[in-house]
Amino acid sequence: MVINAPSLSRSGLSDWIIQRFSAVILAAYTVFMLATLITTPEMDYDSWRNFFGKVPVRLFSLISLVALCGHAWVGMWTVGTDYLTGRQLGNRGPLVRRVYQAFCVLLIAVYLLWGVQIFWGS
């Protein structure tokens, strides 16, 4: 059992719950967006902008973005801890895994901040 790994919640069960809960949120958002696109095929830029200008749509989009970031982190952390180990990489394994995880955290943080700026910016 891994004790001091930088997982999202330091518990496999909690990570599993986060992964499943975020998947449900992302599925609901996908259905919502597909339904919107199907029911309004004549949507142009102005109506799209007005649609995303509504606070409930912005909130649902932000919640979905946070769920996507949590889902991605749990998945990428799992890949890193499963495949970037000392067995595959020798004594470089821990260093490679830490660089990989730092890169993932940085990329997810950039995407999160960029998404917040897109949804809530002017």
pLDDT in tens, 53-93: 999 999 999 999 999 999 999 999 998 888 887 776 777 77
Indicate whether 1 pLDDT > 70.
no
Taking the C-alpha atoms of residue 94 and residue 86, their distance in angstroms, rounded to an integer, is 7
Q: Give me the residue label for tokens 């917040």.
A: 116
Helices (H) and strands (E) in the chain, counts: 5, 0
**Which tokens is 64 given?**
């979905």
pTM above 0.75, yes or no: yes
The CATH code belonging to domain 12-120 is: 1.20.1300.10
Taking the C-alpha atoms of residue 33 and residue 21, their distance in angstroms, rounded to an integer, is 19
